[in-house]
Amino acid sequence: MKKSYTFIANWKMYFDFNESMNYATKNLDSIISLADLSNASIILCPSFPMLYPLTQIFRQTKVQIGAQNCSDHTKGPFTGQVCAKTLNQMGCKSCIIGHSEIRRYKSETDEMISKKFEMLLDDGISPILCIGESELDYKNGKTLEVINEQLKRVIEIVSYSAKKFNGLPIYIAYEPEWCIGSGKTPSNDKLETIFAWINAQTQKHHSISNWQFLYGGSVDVENAVRIGQISYINGFLIGKMSTNFELFEKIVKSTILGNNN
Ligand code: PGA
């Protein structure tokens, strides 16, 4: 059976408001056509202020809009934060949580991330949970130990409340910190082992959830086909390369075709 893939564009803070709108309007028809491909789903993740205009632009298309983060609170005196319910009301379908740039710069803990995970599910939004080890942990052979710590709480959450959100995709994005923006990617052998392990963890509780496993970290036109063929990988979280539409489009098309030509 042909694999289906989800391509998530993590625009980080590469674009200001006008640049985001220009990207969307200039490439509108092509973005919609990509999302219409039978085995590709497209999710664009801009900064907060662009979420609502983009959900409006892509209303009634298959292009989905996701957020880059959310609050770990539902309401109250939390200046500068945005709750999951607001994301839902704006038309967001998914939200990145646990990105290493937020873990690092905003001291986000696994406990906070698991609260966000649960709140997103309660509001009908698919979490895109990022996990991944540092270069030092990778060199010391601690990858599985680190990602186990990052994964175990959310797997518990899903195991005790899976029925509540039956069918909602839950994305796990394995993004080794040392691969983000560095041009480096893990070898096929490493990725095969890691994704088989992630799959085994999520199946432990016989949950009925729709888990989707993504790879992120320096995905580009050269490596997407190779990585896309690894067992259990059915999508990518793409940073820098997603900000150039021609390259993003090439990554999508070559991955689903299984070749670069
Ligand atoms: P990159 O970023 O593709 O620029 O390496 C990926 C990410 O941080 O999600």
Which residue of the set 101, 108, 133, 175 is catalytic?
Answer: 175
73 pocket-lining for ligand 1 (C-beta < 6 Å): no
Closest ligand 1 atom to residue 130 Cα is 9
In angstroms, the CA 95 to CA 6 distance is 14
- What does the block give as tokens for 225? 């086909």
DSSP 8-class letter at 236: E
The continuous run of DSSP H or E covering 112 comes out as: helix 110-122
- What does the block give as tokens for 62? 């298959």
Tokens 């888990």 belong to which residue? Answer: 211
Let me know: does 164 contact 121? Beta carbons within 8 Å: yes
Nearest to 164 by CA among 194, 130, 122, 206: 122
pLDDT at 183: 96
Closest ligand 1 atom to residue 240 Cα is 4
- What does the block give as tokens for 176? 């080794």
Amino acid in position 72: D
Ligand 1 mutation pick, 8, 11, 12, 47, max ligand atoms within 8 A of CB = 12
219 pocket-lining for ligand 1 (C-beta < 6 Å): yes
Q: Report phi then psi at 37, rounded to 5.
A: -60, 140
Q: What percent of the chain has pLDDT over 70?
A: 97
How remote is the C-alpha of 23 from its chain's centroid?
Answer: 20
Residues 136-154 have pLDDT tens digits of: 999 999 999 999 999 999 9
Which residue of the set 99, 101, 108, 249 is catalytic?
Answer: 99
Closest ligand 1 atom to residue 242 Cα is 3
Nearest to 154 by CA among 78, 209, 222: 209
pLDDT at 104: 86
162 pLDDT above the threshold of 80: no
pLDDT, the chain, mean = 95
What Cα–Cα distance (Å) separates residue 246 from each residue in 23, 36, 120, 242? 11, 17, 32, 9
Residue nearest to atom 9 of ligand 1 (CA): 239
In the reported structure, the alpha carbon of residue 76 is separated from the centroid of ligand 1 by a whole-number distance in angstroms of 32
Global pTM reads 0.96
In the reported structure, the alpha carbon of residue 100 is separated from the centroid of ligand 1 by a whole-number distance in angstroms of 10
In angstroms, the CA 204 to CA 141 distance is 23
175 catalytically annotated: yes
1 vs 78 pLDDT, higher one: 78
Tell the burial category of 6 from Cβ atoms under 10 Å away from its Cβ (0-12, 13-18, 19+).
buried
Residues 209-221 have pLDDT tens digits of: 789 999 999 999 9
Q: Could you please report the per-residue DSSP string of 27-71? A: THHHHHHHHHSTTEEEEEE--HHHHHHHHHHTTTSS-EEEES---
Residue nearest to atom 2 of ligand 1 (CA): 239
pLDDT at 256: 95
Beta strand 126-131 pairing with 94-97: parallel
In the reported structure, the alpha carbon of residue 240 is separated from the centroid of ligand 1 by a whole-number distance in angstroms of 6
pLDDT band at 173 (very low <50, low <70, confident <90, very high): very high
Ligand 1 mutation pick, 7, 175, 236, max ligand atoms within 8 A of CB = 175
In angstroms, the CA 85 to CA 150 distance is 24
249 catalytically annotated: no
Nearest to 170 by CA among 136, 190, 199, 196: 199
Residue nearest to atom 6 of ligand 1 (CA): 239
